[in-house]
Structures are given as C-alpha cells and as structure tokens.
C-alpha cells in the first residue's frame, strides 16, 4: 500500500490520479488532497477517499470547507501552510504535484525536503527553478517521476540505456487547435476556439498553452532539467495524431518511442506504480485503425511562443521564471477577453526584452522574479488590450 498526497486534486491531473487510485484500492491510499476554489468537488473527493488532510488555497475558505466536511474525520487547512502540511504528512510516501502555476513551487520543495518521492505534473517547478529543484532532489535522495505524457514517454524510452548514448530527445506536439489555421486568422480567434483541443482533455490554462505552443516550450525547459541534457539536444516535432508521445534517438541511429492512446491516466499510473505497470482502463492502441502517422517541423513564425521558450532557457538564470510569469498573466487576460490570442506572445516577448537575467539562489528569489514578470506583464496587457 503506497500512501499518496495530491496537490491539486480537483484539476484534470488530480481527477485522473484519483481514478487510478479508485481502481486500485489495495495499492494506494490518499493521505492528503488540496484544491483551489472548487470546494464542492474537494468535499466530494474527501467523502470518497477519506484523506487525513484537506487543504483549500485561501484561508478564508476554511470555514466553508469545514461545513462541507461536517461529520468527516478530516483536518481542514488553508493557504501555503496547509499545502506544506499536505506535502509533508508523515504517512505520505509520494506527492503528486499537480498545482498549476508558481503556487506549486513551495509545497513541492517542502515535499522533497521531507524526503517524499514526487510525481511531477507541475511544469513551473522545473521551468522556473530547474537547477534548484534538481539540486534538492539529489541532496535529499528522492525520486522524481514525470507525469507529463511527453516526459513520461522519454523516461520510459531511456530505461535500461546509458545517458551518454543519447543523441537527441524528440518531443512530439499535436500542434493544437490552430495547426492548420492560417496565421492571418489567429488575431481574431476566440477563447472557445482556443479551448477546442483536438486530442486531449485538459484544464483551460494548459489548453491555451497548447494552442500557442508555449506548452511545448515549457516541456523543452523541463526536459533539459529532468534528463540532464543541453537544449541543443532537444527537438520538437509536430505529430497531430498524438500517438507517439515522444522519442529518444541514440548515437547508433536507433530511435526508441513510446506509443499509446492519448489519456493522462497512463503516465500517471506509470509514475504511481513504478517500476510496475498496472491496469488503467485506457483503451489499447490499435494502429490498424490509423491511415498514417505524420511528423513535421513547427512553424516558429506562426507560433512564436516556442521560440521564446528556447530563448529563455538559453539565457537561463531568472529568464525562464519571468517568461513563465508573463505567460500566466497573458493567458489569464486572453481567457478574460482582455487581449487577443496573438497578443499572448507579444506580452511575453516584451516582458522578456525588458528583463535582465540574473542568478537565482533560492525559491524566494524565484518567486520575486515571478512577481516582477507578472507585474510588468499586467502593465503591458493593460496597454495593448481592448
């Protein structure tokens, strides 16, 4: 029986994680779960999985959450202190880090210091503070398992192979909803258009990131840290079918790929049960039903966010944190109808251009860079918005 804490249990990753746990009650037990604003769903999850700790993002929501959990044997906490308590609970062996955004940094770092293994779904942890987190992982001797389908695919493709034999990491990208949309039409696409992902069911923020291809840019930065490689060895291929989740090319010219039906339960289950494989309910892949699998290079002019991510990790230091912060604000403003789709990249580029990269020595300094990026991005969005 493995004891699990889920940071972000009401999001898409958290919900899929609970589906896996529900299917294997003899293997996993939920010790703690956290949520942002969806208190009703969190209360339902508490009733179903009986965690010892339930955490809400805002301390102001604690009284309401206690009402919803009346009669249940659960401790209700709020705010950052509550998140840390959930991430470091004594019984917990693995923490599923699935909080979206920079809010996940502090509890994830606390979990590592408490020597908990991490199933990492929070991109921002490695994007904004990759070197700090990988140093923590090494210092405290914990295992870090990627939950992103692409990074899980790479992780599976390098199992049993020497890192020095890796020639190239190839991240695949669906291309999102606008792969075949003329660039001239992108300034007028709607939020509804951008949220209409062709292959995956995800939260709003990550779906917009997929539409701009910033999601793939963030994954490039993650891969650089997860697999201890250089950015020049990380390549992105557009693969609209989303069947090959990523590939690794070796020095002998051979390429090893991981294939599967697009469903996040598969990489989540691999992280939870490693090194074993368990049933997930994911539909088996039948390649005979596909007319073909296609690949192409990304259009960096049409999707400039990918290039901005490469620019950020090449600059290094504080630049990825500032880029990520600007992206979060720009996506928020787009979803709110304040800026156009193409102005997301514009906001990020202007924020990065105004920033001078500097060394980050602590999580606190990462968060300071994050705040700086957010503040400037808000000003830019206010200036260019409608």
In a domain, 269, yes or no: no
pLDDT given for residue 15 in this prediction: 96
In a domain, 266, yes or no: no
Picking from 142, 164, 179, the residue at the C-terminal end of a domain is: 142
pLDDT given for residue 5 in this prediction: 98
pLDDT given for residue 246 in this prediction: 97
Residues 236 and 292 in one domain: yes
Residues 158 and 240 in one domain: yes
Assign residue 288 a region (left: φ > 0; alpha: ψ between -120 and 50; beta: otherwise).
Answer: alpha
Cite the DSSP H helix spans in 248-342. 265-273, 304-315, 319-335
Cβ pair 370, 325 in contact under 8 A = yes
The pTM of this model reads 0.92
In a domain, 84, yes or no: yes
Q: What are phi and psi of 302, to 5 degrees?
A: -75, -35
Residues 334 and 222 in one domain: no
For 162, other C-beta atoms within 10 Å of its C-beta total 9
Question: Over its length of 386 residues, how does the chain's per-residue pLDDT go in tens digits?
Answer: 999 999 999 998 999 999 999 999 999 999 999 999 999 999 999 999 999 999 999 999 999 999 999 999 999 999 999 999 999 999 999 999 999 877 889 999 999 999 999 999 988 899 999 999 999 999 999 999 999 999 999 999 999 999 999 999 999 999 999 999 999 999 999 999 999 877 666 678 889 999 999 999 999 999 999 999 999 999 999 999 999 999 999 999 999 999 999 899 999 999 999 999 999 999 999 988 888 899 999 999 999 999 999 999 999 999 999 999 999 999 999 999 999 999 999 999 999 999 999 999 999 999 999 999 999 999 999 999 87
Residues 112 and 202 in one domain: no
pLDDT given for residue 95 in this prediction: 98
Q: Does residue 275 have a cis peptide bond before it, meaning omega lies within 30 degrees of 0?
A: yes
In a domain, 177, yes or no: yes
pLDDT given for residue 201 in this prediction: 63
């Amino acid at each position: 029986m493995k004891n699990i804490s889920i940071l972000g249990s009401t999001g898409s990753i958290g919900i899929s994680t609970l589906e896996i746990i529900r299917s294997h009650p003899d293997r996993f037990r939920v010790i703690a779960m956290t949520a942002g604003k969806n208190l009703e769903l969190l209360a339902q999850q508490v009733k179903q999985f009986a965690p010892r700790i339930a955490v809400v993002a805002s301390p102001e929501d604690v009284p309401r959450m206690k009402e919803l959990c009346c009669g249940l044997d659960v401790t209700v906490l709020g705010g950052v202190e509550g998140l840390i308590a959930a991430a470091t609970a004594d019984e917990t062996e693995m923490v599923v880090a699935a909080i979206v955004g920079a809010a996940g940094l502090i509890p994830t770092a606390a979990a590592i210091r408490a020597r908990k293994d991490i199933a990492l779904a929070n991109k921002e942890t490695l994007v904004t503070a990759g070197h700090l987190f990988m140093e923590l992982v090494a210092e405290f001797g914990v295992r870090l398992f990627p939950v992103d389908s692409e990074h899980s695919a790479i992780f599976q493709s390098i199992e049993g192979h020497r890192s020095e034999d890796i020639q190239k990491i190839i991240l695949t990208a669906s291309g999102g909803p606008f792969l075949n949309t003329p660039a001239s039409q992108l300034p007028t696409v709607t939020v509804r258009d951008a949220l209409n992902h062709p292959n995956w069911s995800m939260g709003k923020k990550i779906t917009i990131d997929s539409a701009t291809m910033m999601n793939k840019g963030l994954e490039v930065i993650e891969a650089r840290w997860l697999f201890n490689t250089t950015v020049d060895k990380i390549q992105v291929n557009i693969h609209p079918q989303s069947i090959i989740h990523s590939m690794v090319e070796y020095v002998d010219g051979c390429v090893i790929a991981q294939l599967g039906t697009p469903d996040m339960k598969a990489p989540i289950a691999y992280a939870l049960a490693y090194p074993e494989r368990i049933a997930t309910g994911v539909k088996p892949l039948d390649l005979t039903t596909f007319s073909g699998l296609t690949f192409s290079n990304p259009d960096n002019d049409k999707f400039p966010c990918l290039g901005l991510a490469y620019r950020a990790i090449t600059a290094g230091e504080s630049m990825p944190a500032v880029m990520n912060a600007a992206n979060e604000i720009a996506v928020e403003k787009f979803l709110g109808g304040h800026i156009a789709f193409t102005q997301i990249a514009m906001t990020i580029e202007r924020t990065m251009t105004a920033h001078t990269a500097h060394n980050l020595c602590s999580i606190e300094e990462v968060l300071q860079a994050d705040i700086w990026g957010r503040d400037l991005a808000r000003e830019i969005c206010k200036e260019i918005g409608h």
